[in-house]
């Protein structure tokens, strides 16, 4: 009964052994060529980590042009063009362009990201990633996700006409949504990404429709004049605030990346703001002492893929927004307490 | 004996596609063999488990449970033939049932329209004709008198909706202005949070599940 299954698994492992042994040699040979990347590849080369390391290296070092479509429930499909190039001096250049409507254009030259959007004067940020529709940190530092997520090799399939390796990314404590990622077998670049809810329902999807890897960077990048890009906006570093509140529960791998007091631009109300991040999702927590004149009911719902939870908890009105299950948002909100 | 399990296992793994005739032979075997059917279930379950695709709640044997429930159902005696049993009338009745559902759906739609209209109405009970604050505005152009006008009792739902909108916009802005440096200060930030967490864990014991 079960024996046949076990036999088969062992049979395949033995069959695959020569490959498992042969592959690291190959990757070492490659690593020596690339030099400085060798230190980061320490996993067996056919593991999910190795695949994500390969992706991360490809995203940073190749000249590519990718067309993809972002799909969210209840919203029109959003087509994007994503180009990346490295010039002779080793400077990274990246462009992300929303192709429908008035558009949204983001250009990154090294550590300066410039945003050109309708209704907002153009501005630049000092950052090494574009804040786009995909989790950029996953591409650049997949190892950072290991704190809170598990990487699982699933299998191969065909995506966008190319052979693809599927990898599943699941939160270790099952407190966040999972991710299914398909990577190009040849280059390691992303071909498809599904955000999966806890009942395995599809929440958001990125589907690559065209992928070109070229020797030279796209001629588009030669036309950019770095001097013409808008100035960098400097936010005054938020001084450490002395808050009477503390969050006692954070999902595994999630940390507080930002905390300040801010006046909301819409209503002028002052709230305490905390941003939580695990490298894959960013979550906003707003805290406000509740006011008897403004009673509010507890609400939970989803806005596109973001979960929104607003509850009255003790003396506080707490609102949490982000791509996380409502139960987790509730657990975070309920764990907020006054420090004695 | 074990060959048929082997065949089935290969089929479940999608590795049995060499000749279509052989896979249909396995499928026929499964149809006629209760033991193989049991295997079919468990192989799929094992596969899902290995791939971590198991859903949060697993409902085994829904079909069996429904069948059991039907069996334990008290028997209903067949009613006498009435005018409803005439073929023509029998066809009409489902339409009336559908009509009921349509009426419910229509009333929901009306309720939603009214709700939206109420939302879109300007605040009539404001003492003076101040320009309503536009939640979508960028850059903190909030009217100074906003808090005073709020003192006038207002519909709570509208108020809350507006607040939620502000939060959503602010969340989007925060994500937009988020900056990440690949090299510096990331580790120190991580260190800070860890220290903070340690300090917190000393203070309070009860953590939610």
pLDDT at A201: 87
User: Percent of chain B scored above 70 by pLDDT?
Assistant: 39
Between residues 119 and 158 of chain B, which touch chain A (CB distance below 8 Å)?
Answer: 133, 135-143, 146-147, 150-151, 156
Between residues 109 and 138 of chain A, which touch chain B (CB distance below 8 Å)?
Answer: 111, 115, 119-120, 125-129, 131, 136-137
pLDDT class of B199 with cuts at 50, 70, 90:
very low
pLDDT at A142: 86
Residue A21 within a domain: no
B2 interaction partners in chain A (CB closer than 8 Å): 3-4
CATH number, domain at A222? 2.50.20.10
**Cβ neighbours of residue A112 under 8 Å, at least 6 residues apart?**
A124, A125, A126, A226, A229, A232
- A interface test, pick of B163, B181, B204 with most A CB neighbours within 10 Å: B163
| pLDDT of A170 higher than 50 | yes
| Residue A151 φ then ψ, to 5° | -105, 130
pLDDT at A300: 86
- A interface test, pick of B136, B178, B187, B188 with most A CB neighbours within 10 Å: B178
- A interface test, pick of B171, B202, B204, B205 with most A CB neighbours within 10 Å: B171
A1 interaction partners in chain B (CB closer than 8 Å): 5, 39
My answer on whether A318 and A203 are in the same domain is no
| Structural domain count of chain A | 2
Residue A31 within a domain: no
Q: Do A319 and B159 touch (CB under 8 A)?
A: no
Residue A15 within a domain: no
My answer on whether A216 and A331 are in the same domain is no
| pLDDT of B115 higher than 60 | no
pLDDT at A279: 86
A88-128 pLDDT, tens per residue? 888 999 999 999 988 889 999 998 999 998 888 899 998 88
pLDDT at A329: 93
**Measuring CA to CA, which residue among A56, A237, A48, A77 is closest to residue A137?**
A56
Q: Do B175 and A198 touch (CB under 8 A)?
A: no
Task: Give CA torsion, residues A107, A110, A112, A115, to 10 deg.
Answer: 10
Residue A38 within a domain: no
Scanning chain B, the segments in alpha helix (DSSP H) are 2-12, 20-32, 34-50, 62-72, 87-120, 146-150, 156-176, 186-203
pLDDT at B137: 43
pLDDT at B78: 55
A274-285 pLDDT, tens per residue? 999 988 899 999
Residues A15-30, mean pLDDT to the nearest whole number: 45
My answer on whether A211 and A282 are in the same domain is no
pLDDT class of A234 with cuts at 50, 70, 90:
confident
A338 interaction partners in chain B (CB closer than 8 Å): none
pLDDT at A135: 84
Instruction: Report how far residue B156's alpha carbon sits from residue A322's, in angstroms, rounded to the nearest whole number.
Output: 24
User: Percent of chain A scored above 70 by pLDDT?
Assistant: 84
My answer on whether A100 and A221 are in the same domain is yes
The sheet carrying A202-214 orders its strands as A120-126, A112-117, A104-109, A92-98, A78-86, A63-71, A202-214, A190-196, A178-184, A162-171, A149-159
CATH code of domain B2-58: 1.10.10
pLDDT class of A4 with cuts at 50, 70, 90:
low
Residues B39-47, mean pLDDT to the nearest whole number: 84
What residue of B is the nearest CA neighbor of A175? B209
Task: Give CA torsion, residues A320, A322, A325, A329, to 10 deg.
Answer: -20
Burial string for A2-25 (b: 16+ CB within 10 Å, else e) reads eebbeebeeeeeeeeeeeeeeebe
What residue of B is the nearest CA neighbor of A248? B207
Residue A22 within a domain: no
The ipTM of this complex is 0.79
Q: Do A269 and B166 touch (CB under 8 A)?
A: yes
pLDDT at B74: 66
Cα A216-A222-A227 angle, rounded to 5 deg: 145
pLDDT at B209: 39
Minimal C-alpha gap between B172 and chain A (Å): 9
Least confident window among A45-59, A229-243, B140-154: B140-154
Q: Do A267 and B133 touch (CB under 8 A)?
A: yes
Domain boundary among A181, A200, A228: A228
My answer on whether A60 and A103 are in the same domain is yes
pLDDT at B81: 55
A282-326 pLDDT, tens per residue? 999 999 888 766 667 788 888 888 899 988 888 888 999 999 999
Where in chain B are the domains?
2-58, 120-197
User: Percent of chain A scored above 90 by pLDDT?
Assistant: 44
Residue A9 within a domain: no
pLDDT at A240: 65
Kindly state whether B58 is in contact with chain A, defined as any CB-CB distance less than 8 angstroms.
Answer: no
A136 interaction partners in chain B (CB closer than 8 Å): 180
Minimal C-alpha gap between B66 and chain A (Å): 23
Q: Do B142 and A8 touch (CB under 8 A)?
A: no
| pLDDT of B109 higher than 70 | no
**Measuring CA to CA, which residue among A188, A191, A193 is closest to residue A206?**
A193
Q: Do A322 and B43 touch (CB under 8 A)?
A: no
My answer on whether A64 and A194 are in the same domain is yes
pLDDT at A298: 83
Domain boundary among A228, A256, A282: A228
What is chain A's mean pLDDT, rounded? 83
A139-155 pLDDT, tens per residue? 888 888 888 999 999 88
A294 interaction partners in chain B (CB closer than 8 Å): 150, 156, 159
**Cβ neighbours of residue B80 under 8 Å, at least 6 residues apart?**
none
B165 interaction partners in chain A (CB closer than 8 Å): 266
Could you say which of B139, B178, B206 has the minimum Cβ distance to residue A265? B139
pLDDT class of A175 with cuts at 50, 70, 90:
very high
A267 interaction partners in chain B (CB closer than 8 Å): 133, 135, 142, 146, 162-163, 166
Q: Which residue did the predictor score with more confidence, B1 or A201?
A: A201
Identify the bridge partners of residue A30 per DSSP, sorted by sequence position. Answer: none
Residue A12 within a domain: no
Residues B151-165, mean pLDDT to the nearest whole number: 68
Domain boundary among A177, A195, A228: A228
pLDDT at B19: 63
| pLDDT of A35 higher than 80 | no
pLDDT class of A81 with cuts at 50, 70, 90:
very high
Residues A167-191, mean pLDDT to the nearest whole number: 93
Could you say which of B141, B167, B209 has the minimum Cβ distance to residue A286? B167
My answer on whether A257 and A216 are in the same domain is no
Judged by DSSP in three states, B88 sits in helix
A280 lies in which domain range? 245-338
């Amino acid at each position: 009964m079960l024996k046949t299954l076990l036999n088969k698994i062992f049979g395949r492992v033995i069959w695959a052994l020569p490959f498992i042994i042969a592959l690291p040699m190959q990757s070492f040979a490659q690593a020596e060529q690339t030099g400085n990347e060798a230190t980061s590849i320490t996993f067996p080369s056919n593991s999910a980590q190795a695949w994500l390391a390969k992706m991360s290296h490809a995203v940073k070092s190749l000249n590519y042009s990718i067309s993809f479509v972002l799909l969210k429930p209840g919203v029109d499909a959003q087509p994007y063009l994503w180009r990346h190039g490295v010039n002779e001096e080793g400077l990274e250049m990246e462009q992300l362009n929303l192709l429908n409507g008035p558009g949204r254009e983001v250009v990154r030259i090294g550590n300066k990201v410039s945003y050109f959007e309708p209704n907002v004067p153009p501005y630049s940020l000092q950052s090494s990633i574009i804040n786009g529709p995909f989790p950029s940190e996953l591409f650049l530092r997949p190892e950072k996700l290991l704190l809170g997520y598990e990487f699982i090799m699933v299998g191969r399939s065909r995506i966008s006409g190319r052979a693809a390796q599927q990898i599943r990314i699941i939160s270790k404590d099952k407190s966040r949504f999972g991710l299914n990622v398909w990577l190009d077998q040849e280059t390691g670049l992303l071909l498809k990404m599904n955000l999966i809810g806890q009942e395995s329902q599809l929440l958001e999807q990125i589907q690559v429709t065209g992928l070109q890897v070229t020797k030279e960077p796209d001629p588009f990048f030669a036309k950019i004049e770095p001097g013409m890009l808008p100035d960098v906006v400097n936010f005054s570093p938020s001084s450490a605030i002395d808050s009477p509140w503390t969050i006692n529960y954070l999902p595994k791998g999630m940390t507080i990346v930002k905390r300040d007091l801010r006046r909301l631009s819409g209503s002028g109300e002052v709230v305490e703001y905390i941003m939580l991040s695990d490298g894959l999702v960013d979550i906003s927590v707003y805290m406000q002492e509740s006011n008897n004149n403004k009673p509010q009911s507890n609400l939970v719902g989803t806005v596109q893929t973001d979960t929104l939870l607003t509850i009255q908890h003790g003396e506080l009105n707490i609102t949490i927004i982000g791509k996380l299950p409502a139960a987790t948002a509730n657990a975070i909100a309920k764990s907020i307490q006054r420090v004695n | 004996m074990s060959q048929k399990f082997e065949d089935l296992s290969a089929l479940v793994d999608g590795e049995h596609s060499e000749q279509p005739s052989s896979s249909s032979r396995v499928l026929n075997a499964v149809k006629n063999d209760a033991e193989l059917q049991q295997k079919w279930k468990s192989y799929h379950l094992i596969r899902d488990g290995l791939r971590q695709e198991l859903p949060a709640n697993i409902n085994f044997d829904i079909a069996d449970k429904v069948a059991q429930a039907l069996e334990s159902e008290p028997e209903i005696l067949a009613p006498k033939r009435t005018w409803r049993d005439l073929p023509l009338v029998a066809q009409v009745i489902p339409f009336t049932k559908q009509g009921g559902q349509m009426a419910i759906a229509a009333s929901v739609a009306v309720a939603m329209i009214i709700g939206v209209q109420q939302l879109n109405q300007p605040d009539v009970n404001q003492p003076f004709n101040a320009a309503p604050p536009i939640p979508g505005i960028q850059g903190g152009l909030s009217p100074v008198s906003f808090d005073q006008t709020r003192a006038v009792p207002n519909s709570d739902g509208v108020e809350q909706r507006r607040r939620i909108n502000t939060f959503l916009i602010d969340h989007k802005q925060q994500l937009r202005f988020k900056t990440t440096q690949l090299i510096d200060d990331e580790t120190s930030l991580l260190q800070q949070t860890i220290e903070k967490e340690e300090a917190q864990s000393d203070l309070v014991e009860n953590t939610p599940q």
